[in-house]
Amino acid sequence: MSLTPEQEAEIAALRAEPRPTLRAVSPGMEAHLFLARPVLDHGFVRVIDYMGDDAAICQAARVSYGRGTKAVSNDEGLIRYLMRHWHSTPFEMCELKLHVKLPVFVARQWIRHRTANVNEYSARYSILDREFYIPEQEMLAAQSVVNNQGRGEALSGEEAARVLDWLKSDAARAYDHYEAMISQEGQQGLARELARMNLPANIYTQWYWKVDLHNLFHFLRLRADAHAQYEIRVYAEAICAMVRDWVPAAYGAFEDYRLGGAVLSAKGVECVRRMLKGEKVTQETSGMSKGEWREFLGVVEP
C-alpha cells in the first residue's frame, strides 16, 4: 500500500483532534476512522465518515410499530427480525463514506452497484500515478472450463513467469508513452483526457464512495461471496471487517441470513420436503435444470 506523504499527514492530523459531538457514535467504527486498510499491492480502503449505529436501525423501525415487531423485546432480536423478513428502509438509516484506492478493472465491476454516491479521481485534470496491480504468481489462473466468469487451474512455471513479465512490461511501456504524450519537451503535449486512453486497466484509481447500509449489505453479499472475483472480494472482505465493528448486531444478522444463509426456490423447498419424507429425489424427478440441481445440492448436501 502506498499513501502519499500528504495523505499520511492528513490522517495523523484528523486522528489527533477528536471532537465532542451529540451524534450517536459507534466505538468500533471510531477506531477505523481515517486509517487506511491495505488491499492488494497498492490499494486501500479507509473510512472517511459514517452515520448511525445499531440503535439507529431500531429507532427507524419503531417509528411505525407494526404487528410483526411488537413481540420483539430487544434491539438485536428486532434487527434479526428485520433482516429475516427482508425489511430494507431501517437499514438505510445508516450510511458509510469510504475512500478507496483500487485498480480500474475492479472499479468497473464495483460501479455496477448503482446505489451509491461516487466521486472518482479525474485523469482529465490530474496525472495518474505509475502504480499498477500485478497479481502474485499463485493468483494467475487459466480460464474456467465450466464458468465463463471464473478461473480454473493456477498457471505455473514458465507460463506463469511469462504472463507476469508481460503484465509488468506492458504496463511500464504504456505509462512511459502516457508520460511522454502529456509532457513532450518544447511542445504543447497531448491533452490528459486523451492521453489516459492508452493506460491499461490495471492502473490504480481512487474514489470516495458513500452508501447506505442496506445497499452496502447487498454489495457485500455479492462481492464477499467465495465465487466473486478475488480482486474485488478482498476489498469486500476488508469492508466486512469494518462493518462488523460498526454495527455488530446488524452485521451478525447479515452474516447469518445472507452470507451464511441460502434461498431456495419453490421447487427446492418441495424437494427438501420430499427428502425429509425419505423419498429419493434426482435431478430428473426434481423439475429443475442441471444447473439448478447442482446449486441445490450445493446447499442441501454437506
CA distance 62 to 75: 10
Cβ contacts of 191 within 8 Å, gap of 6 or more:
182
pLDDT, mean of residues 275-280: 95
pLDDT, mean of residues 161-182: 94
Structural contact between residues 54 and 83, judged by C-beta atoms closer than 8 angstroms: no
Across 64-68, 168-172, 175-179, least confident range: 64-68
| 212 labeled binding residue | yes
pLDDT reported for residue 167 = 94
185, pLDDT greater than 70? no
| 196 labeled binding residue | yes
Residue with cell 446449486: 295
Percent of the chain with pLDDT over 70: 91
Catalytic: 80? no
pLDDT, mean of residues 272-299: 95
Give the mean pLDDT of the chain: 90
Catalytic residue among 223, 233, 244, 273: 223
| 239 labeled binding residue | no
Give the pLDDT band (50/70/90) at residue 4.
confident
| 223 labeled binding residue | yes
pLDDT 10s digits, 213-231:
999 999 999 999 988 999 9
pLDDT 10s digits, 119-162:
999 998 899 999 999 998 888 876 656 665 666 677 778 888 89
| 114 labeled binding residue | yes
- DSSP designation for 90: G
Residue 275: how many CA atoms within 13 Å on its side-chain side? 15
pLDDT reported for residue 139 = 81
| 99 labeled binding residue | no
CA distance 244 to 257: 15
pLDDT 10s digits, 23-78:
889 999 999 999 999 999 999 999 999 999 999 999 999 885 555 555 555 889 99
| 273 labeled binding residue | no
pLDDT reported for residue 151 = 63
Give the pLDDT band (50/70/90) at residue 293.
very high
CA quadruple 249, 46, 89, 72: dihedral, nearest 10: 10
pLDDT, mean of residues 97-114: 96
Maximum distance among all alpha carbons in the chain?
83
Give the pLDDT band (50/70/90) at residue 115.
very high
19 φ, ψ (degrees, to nearest 5): -120, 140
Identify residue 112 by its one-letter amino acid code.
R
| 218 labeled binding residue | yes
| 127 labeled binding residue | no
Across 1-10, 114-123, 193-202, 226-235, least confident range: 1-10
Structural contact between residues 175 and 167, judged by C-beta atoms closer than 8 angstroms: no
Q: Whose CA is closest to 98, among 157, 151, 49, 149?
A: 49
pLDDT: which is higher, 36 or 22: 36
